[in-house]
Each structure stands twice: as C-alpha cells, then as structure tokens.
Amino acid sequence: MKIKVKNFFLSLLSYGWLIISCTVVLVPMLWMILASFTKGDSLTGVPLLPDPSRFSLEHYKYIFTYISVSGSQFSDYLMAFSRTLTIAIANLFGVVFFAVITGYAFARIRFKGKKKLLLLMMILQMFPSFMGMIALYLLFRQFGMTNKPILLALIYTAGSIPYNTFLVRGFMRNIPKSLDESAAIDGATPLQILTKILFPLIVPIIGFIAVGAFMAPWLDYMLQSYFLQGQNKTIAVWLYLLVQGGNSAYKPLHFMAGALIIAIPIMLIQFYMQKYMVYGLTSGAEKG
C-alpha cells in the first residue's frame, strides 16, 4: 500500500514536471505563430490568446510581395532566400567533393607525411573558424570578391573540410581493405576503386555530411553579415535587420512571419536527421 502511494505520487510529480517543461518549450513558439498572424506593426497588439478580430495575413503578404529593388521580379525575402539556397547548394557539393577525396586519401593510401597532415587537419578542426574571418574579409574586399554568394560558399566549404574528412575517413576504415586489394589485382586504378567500389558503400555518410553542409548556411549569420551587404543580403541578415531595434526598420511581426517560414522546413529536416545526430557526434569525437 505504501509503495503504491509512493508510486502514484512520483508519477504525478513526473507528469507535472513534464507538462510544465512542455509548456515552457511550446509557449514561445506558439506566441511566434500567433504574432505572425496579428494585425499591426508592434508587439503591443499581440494578444496572449488567439483573437479573431486581430487576425491578419498582412505580414505574409509583405514577405512575398515587398520589392525594394527596382526591376526585380521576386520579393526581397524570396531573393534573400534564393541567395542562401545558392550558398547551401554550392557548399553541399563542395563539402562532399573535398571530404570524399581527402577522406579516401587518408583512409586508404600510404604516403609520406600522412601523419603530419592528419595532425594538421585535427588542429585546424579544433580552432574556431572566425579566427581568420577578419583577414578573409579584408582580403576579399581588397580583391573585390565580397557580395558574391558563390564565393562565400568557398569559405564555408574550406572551414568544414577537416571535420567532414574525419567522418568519411572513419566510415571508410570500417570497410574491409580486401575489397580494394582484389580490385587492384583486377587492374583497377586508385581513382576507379574510389568511384566504382567505395563510393556506393559510403553513401550513408555522404548523405549525413551533405545534409550538414546544406544546413550550415541557414544557421549561420556572422560570415554572411561580413561578406554580403546591401542588395546581397541573405535570409539570416535580412531577418536580423528586422529585429535589431532602435530604428525604423524594426518590424517584429514581419520577422515572425519570415522566420516561421524558414524555421518549419529546417525543423522537419532536423527531426528527420535526429537519429543520425548521436552517430555524427560519437564518430567525430571518439573512434574515427
């Protein structure tokens, strides 16, 4: 009897705690959705509970129709979106290409200086990427290379080579070497071994790093705010300007609508990738 009471009390406590947690997690998100559908320009007008009399789609309309650049067919928001998309796609292909060839060389070929290069990669992976950012910005500005989304993708790619190389290398080391050896006996060149034999086997890890590379530019702000200004803003910079405050550009409700549209697909991808997260973490940090 005593145990039953205790159990009941503990499950009550657990559910109570979880319900409070879920409320804290969900309320800000629900408020964001509510705000994005509210009339007017200020937070003051946003009610705590849905209020049909204040419902409005004006912010979504703004997002999809407001054009400040003369001659542009698409709204500023969509243009900013497409710039981030360009960077994301370029980064995806860049990262996969570099990580696969570098990972292959490190996993499968013996050569002089390999250990030193691996150590260099390891060290590079550990230092924060902003270290060279001032320099890259000054150099890019010097040679007129700022304001070009595609060139920004190069920086993202370079920065993520070390980490992803280790992921590919770690994955490849689990594939038996006898496969390459028998192919080599049959006369396959190293390049053929990579493209014909190993590539189909490493598709899972390629998928993992491809999604990571595609997501990176959507989640970053710093580099984009340095390198792309004026008419070349990306979605992150565009959104931040709406909430910076202290000026006439402060439009929190436009922000809510714009941010929601971007957050939903990212959220879905993240949920889908959730099961791989722990894998990426442990293989990157522990076994290799």
Partner 1 sequence: MKRKTLKERFKAFLQDIKQNPDALKSAILSMFVMGLGQFRNKQKSKAFILLGVLFLIIAVEIFTGGYIYALTGEMNQFPGVPGEMFPKINFIRDYGGLFSKGIWGLITLGQIPIMASYRGNVTEAFNKVLTWLSADNSMALLGQGLIALVIISIFIGIYIFNIHDAYTTRKKFNQGEAIETGKQYVKRLWTDMFPYIILLPTLVMVMFLILIPFMFSFLLAFTNYTYKNASLLYTVKWVGLTNFTRIVADAGWAGIFLDVILWTLIFAISASVTTYFLGMLQAIVIESKYVKFKKFFRTILIVPWAVPGMVSLMVFRQAFQQDGLINKILLSTNLMPTFSNFFHAIGLTSSAEGIISWLTVYGNAGLTKLVIVGVNLWLGAPYFMMLITGVLTTLPKDLYEAAAIDGATKWQSFKRITLPLILRATLPAIVMTFTFNFNNFGAIYFLTGGGPGRPNDLVPQSMLILKGVPGATDILISWIYKLSFTANEQLYNMAAVYSIMIFLFIGSISVFNLARAKTLWEDD
Nearer of residues 28 and 52 to partner 1, judged by Cβ: 28
The residues, ordered by sequence, that sit 6+ positions from 113 with a Cβ below 8 Å of its Cβ are none
The residues, ordered by sequence, that sit 6+ positions from 51 with a Cβ below 8 Å of its Cβ are none
- Round to whole Å and give the CA distance between 46 and 34: 8
For residue 139, give Cα distances in angstroms to 117, 132, 136, 259.
26, 10, 5, 32
Nearer of residues 79 and 163 to partner 1, judged by Cβ: 163
Q: Which among 192, 200, 211 has a CA at the least distance from the CA of 280? A: 211
User: DSSP characters for 72-138?
Assistant: -SS-HHHHHHHHHHHHHHHHHHHHHHHHHHHHHHHHH---TTHHHHHHHHHHHHHS-GGGGHHHHHH
Minimum CB distance to partner 1, residue 81 (Å) = 14
Nearer of residues 232 and 252 to partner 1, judged by Cβ: 252
Minimum CB distance to partner 1, residue 213 (Å) = 14
Minimum CB distance to partner 1, residue 134 (Å) = 5
Nearer of residues 70 and 116 to partner 1, judged by Cβ: 116
Minimum CB distance to partner 1, residue 93 (Å) = 13
Q: Please, what's the largest Cα pairwise distance for the chain?
A: 80
Nearer of residues 124 and 183 to partner 1, judged by Cβ: 124
Nearer of residues 28 and 71 to partner 1, judged by Cβ: 28
Residues 251/242, Cβ–Cβ less than 8 Å: yes
How many C-beta neighbours within 10 Å does residue 271 have?
A: 9
Nearer of residues 1 and 24 to partner 1, judged by Cβ: 24
Nearer of residues 75 and 102 to partner 1, judged by Cβ: 102
For residue 52, give Cα distances in angstroms to 41, 46, 63.
17, 12, 22
- The Cβ-side half-sphere exposure at 48, using a 13 Å CA radius, reads 0
Residues 30-64 as b or e (16 or more Cβ within 10 Å = b): eebebbbbbeeeeeeebeeeeeeeeeeeebbebbe
Minimum CB distance to partner 1, residue 185 (Å) = 16
Minimum CB distance to partner 1, residue 75 (Å) = 19
Minimum CB distance to partner 1, residue 70 (Å) = 26
Gyration radius (Cα) of the chain, Å: 25
Minimum CB distance to partner 1, residue 258 (Å) = 9
